[in-house]
Every structure is written in C-alpha cells, then in structure tokens.
Structure 1
Amino acid sequence: MTYSIAGMCRRTGMFGVAITTSSIAVGSRCSFAQAGVGAVLTQHRTDPRLGPRGLALLERGKSASEVVFALTSADESIGHRQLAVIDREGRTAWYHGDKIHSVHNASEGDGCVAIGNIIRKPSVTDAMIGAFQARPDDHLAERLMTAIEAGKAEGGEFRQEKSAALLVVHEQSFPLVDLRVDYDRDALGQLRFLWETYVPFLDLYVGRAVAPDATK
C-alpha cells in the first residue's frame, strides 16, 4: 500500500525521495537519504533499520546492487520487504520479497528508481519514472513531486493516501528539503502545498546555517 521514487539530479548532485501510503507517518519510517552518498527506500511491513544500514554501506562505496544484496542476504524476515536504492553514481537496484502477494512493481530510469506494493496496477511505477525523466531541468524536489503525483494519477493504491513525504539532500549534513504530511485526507495535495510554500526559503535556511552573518 505504498509507492515511492528515489532519484538523483545529475546536474547538481542532489539526492531525494518522494513517498506516499494509506497509513500514518510514512516519511519517518520509509525514506532515507544522505548528501553525496545516495538514498534508500524501505517499505511493505517496513523495517526502518534497513535505511540507515543501506546508507552506511553506500557511504563505504558499495554500489546500489551490492547494497541490496547485503541487506537481503542474511535476513530471515526479508521476504516481507520491498527495497529501492540509488548510489552516488546514480546506479539503482531494487528488491521484492517473496511474501509480497499484492500487485507490486519496480521501474528504473537514468538516475531514478520507483517501487510500489498493493497498488492498482504495475504501471504506477512506470508513470513515476516517466514523469521524473520528462523534466530534467527542474529542481529535484519538483521532479520527485511531479513523479509521485503521476503515480497517483495512474491509479495509486487501493486505499486513500493519508501520509506523504518529500526528502532532498545536497552538500550539507542536514536535508535541503524534509517535508512530511503525517495524516491527511489529501496527503499529496498537502505535500504539494508545503513544497510550493517552502521553495522561497530554500537558500535562506541553508544560508542561515552556514553563513549567518551574511543572511537576514
């Protein structure tokens, strides 16, 4: 009952993810990213421990495929999980556990990977990749937002999406964008509102952190 996308901007080096589901607080449990390293998505009977573990492996220089192999090779519960990883080179990999019996799928493109489970049709992930790749010059957060909206337009999941999150990292140890809707009848609509409200403050908030004397 979750669909998501992880992507990289090859122009800026940013990494990010967008995700939505019909349960509460998806952003705190399922989406992980680190500047200069990559991103990890963990969902379907979610094990949030897999996110930090994946990032640690990416930071050590492991490829996306190597990370997925490491996370899935010695875990007795891994059959319940769904994963997606993007590494610092923009390479991607994914995993579907054999205990996922609903409609599920994964799709990959240049610098992006989308996964979904308990979705209406497999093309939900294809739609996300298509939307992401169609706008290479947009800000990464906007591309991710457009992609997750395309997934909903393609059918989304069977239940109403109630939480959603948008996470982008770039250069600093703290996120450039970390917006979450934890419970709302229109989770993606609210996330779109938050993103468009936050855009004017992107550079200001980074500037206040790294050069407070030079900003208002």
Structure 2
Amino acid sequence: MTFSIAARCERTGRFGVAVTSSSPAVAARCAYVRAGVGAACSQNITDPRLGTHLLDLMAGGASAAAAIHDTAHDPAHLPHIPYRQLTAVGAAGPGAAHSGAHTLGRHAQAVGPDAVAAGNLLADPGVPRAILDAFAADPAAPLARRLVDALGAGAAAGGEEGPVHSAGLLVGGDVPWPVTDLRVDWTDGDPIAELAALWKLWEPQEQPYVQRALAPGEAPSFGVPGDA
C-alpha cells in the first residue's frame, strides 16, 4: 500500500523521508528522521515502533545495514518480521532495506549510496529504482525538493496498483525537531502534487520558523493581520 524514499543529503548532512500510500495519514505511521543520526521507514503492515528502533540503533553507532539486520533478527520482532518492510539510511554508508516474506503484492526495493527506496503493492517492480534515479538527478537542490521529485518519479513509473490518497515529507536539519513535517493525510486528488504545493509554500518559511524557536527576538514578523 506504500512506496517511499529515505535519504541523506551528502552536501548538508540532512536526512529526510518522503512517502505515499493508498491508506490515510501514511507519514504519521511510516516516516522517521533524527538529526545527525539518520532516516527510516516502517511500512507494509506497519509497526511504528520499528522506525524508532532503527534510529536508536544508528544513534548507538550501527550502520544502516547493521540496524536493519539486527532489527530483522531480533527475537522480540521475529514473530511478525515477515510482515514488515523496513528501510534506513545513516550518517555514512549506503542505505539498507528489508522486505519480509509476507510483504504485500508486487514489492521491490533499491539501495543507493545516500538513499533507499521501497514499495509494496506496486504496479511495476522498477518503481524504487526510478525513485532513486530521480533523487540523484540534482544533488545541489534542497533535500526536501529532491525527495518530493523522487516520489513523483515513482508515481510516473507506475506507483501503486491502485490510487494513492496520502503523502508526507519529513526532514531533519540541525535542531532536535524536524524542520519540515508536511502531510496530506487524505485526498481524492493527487497527494504527491498536493505535497509538492505544500513544500513550495513552506520552503521560504522553513528557516524563519527555526529562528523563531531559537532566537524569537530576532525572528522576522509573521506578516499576518494584527502582527506589529
């Protein structure tokens, strides 16, 4: 029901996830980032605890591959791990992925030097590779834009077997909270296009909102009625 990308920006050190699904509110369950640590997705028949677990392992020094391997072989997770599809990328090294034996429908994954993509119930097994190729096309662009463009490329390559209804974008910067957290939780339109429009609106405001948290006295005004 889902396809996604988890990635690292080699230029800035940021981490991010973009994800879309036929299910509602996909990013609330499937997308995880932690500044300075990595990005992860827990999808298919989702266990949200696994995304946090992957980040905890990478925060402790594990590579993405080791974090995925250890999670997939952890006795606490073994009874249900065949139903999980997991991806991760850390501060160094390539991404990594696990697609359990009970991953739904046509599923695939693709790993790159700075990113990993995976999906289930896909119309075409080449979707994850198309996502990574689009992500790598413009490394000078902001990470969030690359992620949204990559998600769009996955849709253009076939996407899911059926229509998608939700999408999300999560990016970690230099502060403990995500600097971008945008979601289309349900639409009968095109959630990826709507997510791209949200990013276009948010992009010039991302850094000002960080500044409002760290140095409110120096932050720009909100520019809304009633703001002096």
Task: Give the TM-score range, shorter chain.
Answer: over 0.9
SS of equivalent residue, structure 1 residue 176: strand
Shift of 1:101: 5.0
- How many angstroms apart in 2 are the aligned matches of 1:44 and 1:171? 30
CA–CA distance in 2 between the matches of 1:90 and 1:22? Answer: 31
Equivalence for 2:211? 207
CA contact (8 A) 1:68 1:93 kept: yes
Question: Matches of residues 95-134 of structure 1 in structure 2 within 5 Å?
Answer: 95-134=98-137
**Whole-Å Cα distance in 2 between the matches of residues 102 and 132 of structure 1?**
25
What is the match of residue 79 of structure 1? 82
| One-letter amino acid of the counterpart of residue 31, structure 2 | S
Specify the alignment match of 1:11 in structure 2.
11
Find the aligned partners of 1:34 and 1:151 in 2 and give their Cα distance: 24
Write the distance in 2 (CA, Å) between the matches of 1:132 and 1:110.
11
Q: Which residue of 1 aligns with 2:25?
A: 25
Which residue does 2:202 correspond to in 1? Answer: 198
Report if aligned partners of 1:110, 1:133 keep a CA contact under 8 Å in 2: no
Distance 1:38 1:25 in 2: 22
Length-normalised TM-score, structure 2: 0.93
Q: Distance in 2 between matches of 1:9 and 1:65?
A: 18
- The answer for unaligned runs of 5 or more in structure 2 is 221-228
Q: Quote the Cα distance in structure 2 between the aligned partners of 1:133 and 1:119.
A: 21
CA RMSD, 1 decimal = 0.9
Residue 178 of structure 1 is aligned with which of 172, 181, 198? 181
Say yes or no: does 1:148 pair with 2:151.
Answer: yes
SS at match of 1:114: strand
In the alignment, is the contact (CA less than 8 A) between 2:94 and 2:112 conserved in 1?
A: no
1:37 aligns to what?
A: 37
Contact 1:90–1:112 (Cα < 8 Å) also in 2: no
**Which structure has the greater CA radius of gyration?**
2
Distance across 2 between alignment mates of 1:41 and 1:188 = 17
1:29-82 deviations in Å (ceiling 9; x for gaps): 000000000011011110111011111111111111111111111221000010
- 1:189 corresponds to: 193
Letter in 2 for 1:107: A
**Contact 2:44–2:104 under 8 Å retained in 1:** no
Q: Does the 8 Å contact 2:6/2:89 carry over to 1?
A: yes
Separation (CA, whole Å) in 2 of partners of 1:90 and 1:203: 28
- Give distance in 2, aligned partners of 1:100 and 1:172: 35
Give the letter aligned to residue 70 of structure 2. A
The answer to whether the 8 A contact 1:34-1:173 is kept is yes
Task: Look up the SS of the partner of 2:178 in the other structure.
Answer: coil
The size of the alignment, in residue pairs, is 216
> Percent same amino acid among aligned pairs?
42
Taking structure 1 as the reference length, the TM-score comes to 0.98
Runs of 4+ in 1 over 2 A off after TM superposition: none
